[in-house]
Amino acid sequence: MSTDCVFCGIRDKKIPADIVFEDDQMIAFKDITPQAPEHLLIIPKKHIRSFNDLSDDDAVMLGKTFVKIKDIARGLSISESGYRIVVNCNGDAGQEVFHLHVHLLGGRKFTWPPG
């Protein structure tokens, strides 16, 4: 883990965040610069730099994360109208914080293609 990783700081409760869900493997919190009425970031507690750095050992955690996202979306009342899940991998894709994270966005109509 990098000592300057903002998401590790949130995980360790050294940086405040509006946390909406937490368990032993992940944390979901509101994005400080939301791109939709509902915009959460879901991070693993384990520091994983990017999607490219996932290992076979992370498969169960990643699966549980995506299953939990549907429950979080339901709790935000966006599951029926629709939501978008985004994972950016490295700089050209828009990853700014190098700790694996999933964006959950909803509460408005999205267009395609993105970006």
Give the CATH class of 6-106: alpha beta
**Predicted local confidence at residue 115, as pLDDT:** 65
What residues does each domain of the chain span?
6-106
Q: Judge whether 89 and 52 are in contact, CB under 8 Å.
A: yes
From the number of C-beta atoms within 10 Å of its C-beta (0-12, 13-18, 19+), residue 9 rates as middle
Which residues are catalytic, by number? 101
Is 114's pLDDT higher than 90? no
Helix (H, G, I), strand (E, B) or coil at 7: helix
| pLDDT tens for each residue of 34-52 | 999 999 999 999 999 999 9
Q: If you ran DSSP here, which 8-state letter would residue 77 be given?
A: T
